[in-house]
């Protein structure tokens, strides 16, 4: 299974962060795979989250329908 396919099937289960993608699927460049999916017509929402340590991370969620 390609990384892009893995990311898509993981997004169908719920939200995904870069750390989740690395730990669960070995996907190092999640933003690139999200871009691949968007280029294929999928709607993916980005939610920026502030962590208690002051850092900000992106969390991705699959939209309801293909664009």
- pLDDT at residue 5, as a whole number: 96
How do residues 15-53 score in pLDDT, each as one tens digit? 999 999 999 999 999 999 999 999 999 999 999 999 999
- pLDDT at residue 65, as a whole number: 66
Domains contained in the chain, CATH given: 3-66 (1.10.10)
Question: pTM here?
Answer: 0.88
Rounded to an integer, what distance in angstroms lies between the CA atom of residue 21 and that of residue 26? Answer: 6
Find the helix or strand (DSSP H, E) in which 58 lies: strand 56-66
* Predicted confidence band of residue 1 (pLDDT cuts 50, 70, 90): confident
């Amino acid at each position: 299974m390609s990384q892009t396919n893995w990311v898509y099937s993981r997004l169908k289960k719920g939200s995904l962060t870069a750390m989740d993608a690395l730990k669960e699927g070995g996907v190092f460049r999640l933003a690139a795979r999200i871009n691949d999916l968007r280029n294929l017509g999928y709607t993916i929402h980005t939610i920026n989250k502030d962590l208690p340590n002051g850092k900000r991370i992106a969390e991705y969620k699959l939209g309801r329908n293909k664009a």
